[in-house]
Amino acid sequence: MQPKKLLQLRQRLKKKKPSFRRVESWRYKRVKDSWRKARGIDSKTRKKKKSGVKSPTIGYRSPKKIRGLHPSGFEEVRIFTLNEFKGLSNKKHAIKISGRVGAKKRITLVDYAQNRGFKVLNLGISQKELESLETSLEEEEYLDLEDLEESLNEE
């Protein structure tokens, strides 16, 4: 099947998938909502009775070809530096800039990614802040993208 059709199939399957809740989490406050396997000797859920809660099984998995992909169909890659763009394809990979990267470095990474045609999944900064920082960087002539590309090519 085509990846686009598989992505649509995954979306439809996700709608049908129940929210797996821990048994009796709705009854007691002390029992958290996150899934835990039922282990009681008379548990309806463990015995897979109709009256029990649905439990996660392999049948709820998404198709293997698209498992782990972003909903846009790209493979997510977390980026910290410009050197990590080596070996990435803008047709296959989408960029997520790490949250630990500061605003100045983030701007250079976003510019570099957009010039190369990559999809940036998280700009992580408001458009207003981006514009103000870009103007301040232009005044300081902090980093020139052409110099960065040359230094990358030399390495």
pLDDT in tens, 81-124: 999 999 999 999 999 999 898 888 988 999 899 999 999 998 76
pLDDT digits (tens, 9 = 90+) for 61-86: 888 888 888 988 899 999 999 999 99
5 belongs to a structural domain:
no
> From CA 68, how far away is CA 60, in angstroms rounded?
14
**Both structure tokens of 78:** 């977390």
**Structure confidence at residue 95 (pLDDT):** 94
Q: How many residues does the chain have?
A: 155
Shared domain for 87 and 134, answered yes or no, is yes
Q: What is the pTM of this model?
A: 0.63
The set of residues, in sequence order, having a beta carbon less than 8 Å from that of 102 and lying 6+ positions away, is none
> From CA 76, how far away is CA 80, in angstroms rounded?
13
Shared domain for 104 and 79, answered yes or no, is yes
**Structure confidence at residue 103 (pLDDT):** 83
Quick one: average pLDDT of 14-39?
93
> From CA 45, how far away is CA 40, in angstroms rounded?
9
Q: Is the pLDDT of residue 137 over 80?
A: no
Shared domain for 54 and 113, answered yes or no, is no
The set of residues, in sequence order, having a beta carbon less than 8 Å from that of 35 and lying 6+ positions away, is 20, 21, 22, 55, 56
Shared domain for 54 and 108, answered yes or no, is no
Shared domain for 83 and 47, answered yes or no, is no
Helices 127-140 and 103-116: crossing angle in degrees, nearest 10, is: 90
What is the distance, to the nearest Å, from the Cα of residue 145 to the centroid of all Cα atoms in its chain? 27
* Average pLDDT over all residues of the chain: 85
**Structure confidence at residue 122 (pLDDT):** 87
Structural domain span for residue 84: 75-154
